[in-house]
Amino acid sequence: MRVDAGTKRLLEAASEVAGATVSSFILDAATSAAQQELADRTVFRLDEEQWAAFDAALSREAGDVPGLRELMNSPTILDEMS
C-alpha cells in the first residue's frame, strides 16, 4: 500500500505500540472496520416501544396479501425458457 511519509510514520508508531507488525496492525484494523460496516447492515437496535411493535407484528396471524397468491402461481419468464 502506498501512503505518504506522515501516514507511514503514524502506522509504524501505532503498530509498535500495539506490539504488531505494520501489516498485521493494518489487517486487524481493516478487519474490524469491515465487521463494523457489515454489522450496521445486519444488526438493528430497537427501544422498548419499537421492540413491542416489532414483536406484535411478528406475532400476528399470517394473512392473505391481495394478488400475492396469483403472482406466486403465475408462470414467469424462467418457466417459458424450459
Sequence spans of domains, the chain: 1-40
Mean pLDDT, to the nearest integer, of 5-18?
97
Q: What is the pLDDT of residue 42?
A: 79
pLDDT of the residue at 45? 87
Specify the pTM: 0.51
Mean pLDDT of 6-18: 97
pLDDT digits (tens, 9 = 90+) for 23-72: 999 999 999 999 988 887 877 889 999 999 999 999 999 888 999 989 99
C-alpha cell at 1: 500500500
pLDDT at residue number 33? 95
Calculate the alpha carbon distances from 9 to 1, 14, 20, 29 in Å. 14, 8, 14, 16
Contact 15, 3 (CB under 8 A): no
Which pLDDT score is estimated for 82? 64
